[in-house]
């Protein structure tokens, strides 16, 4: 399989030189994804709502790549505020309860203070 780039349509992809996701071989590598709703160009102040929107954005990229949330094998969570992590657990269970991927949590600053978390995943392509 040749390499395939998936775009979200964000102007930053072209400006910075990245893709929302890259399909390479049997895997899809999804870039760090935030809780922006690209249809309304808005972001909630609530970290739980942002987590839900992150997975909606991730799912869209995975479907375009020929994969799904159930095929996620690794997830990385990045939080500026570690206290926001635990309230999001039910959202993670909702979207990843079947896949049960390997997971890592980082506490680090993000580029925009409105962002309460960023989620990066790796998934296998549907067979």
List of domains in the chain: 4-124 (3.30.1330.40)
Judge contact between 6 and 64, C-beta under 8 A. yes
pLDDT at 56: 97
Judge contact between 27 and 123, C-beta under 8 A. yes
pTM reported for the whole predicted model? 0.93
Residue-wise pLDDT tens digits, 72-97? 999 999 999 999 999 999 999 999 99
Q: In percent, how much of the chain has pLDDT > 70? A: 98
> Which helix (DSSP H) or strand (DSSP E) does residue 122 occupy?
strand 118-124
Position 25 pLDDT exceeds 90: yes
pLDDT at 94: 98
Judging by DSSP bridges, how do beta strands 118-124 and 72-79 pair with one another?
A: antiparallel
Average pLDDT of the chain to the nearest whole number: 94
Detail the DSSP E strand segments found in 49-101.
72-79
């Amino acid at each position: 399989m040749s390499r395939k780039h998936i775009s979200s349509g964000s102007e930053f992809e072209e400006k910075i030189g990245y893709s929302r996701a890259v399909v390479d071989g049997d895997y899809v590598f999804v870039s760090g994804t935030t809780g922006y709703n690209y249809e309304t160009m808005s972001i909630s102040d609530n970290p739980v709502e942002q987590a839900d929107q992150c997975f909606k954005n991730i799912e869209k990229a995975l479907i375009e790549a020929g994969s799904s949330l159930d095929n996620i094998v690794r997830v990385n969570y990045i939080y500026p505020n570690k206290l926001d992590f635990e309230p999001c657990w039910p959202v993670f269970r909702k979207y990843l309860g079947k896949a049960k991927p390997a997971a890592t949590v980082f506490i680090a600053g993000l580029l925009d203070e409105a962002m309460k978390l960023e989620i990066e995943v790796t998934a296998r392509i549907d067979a």
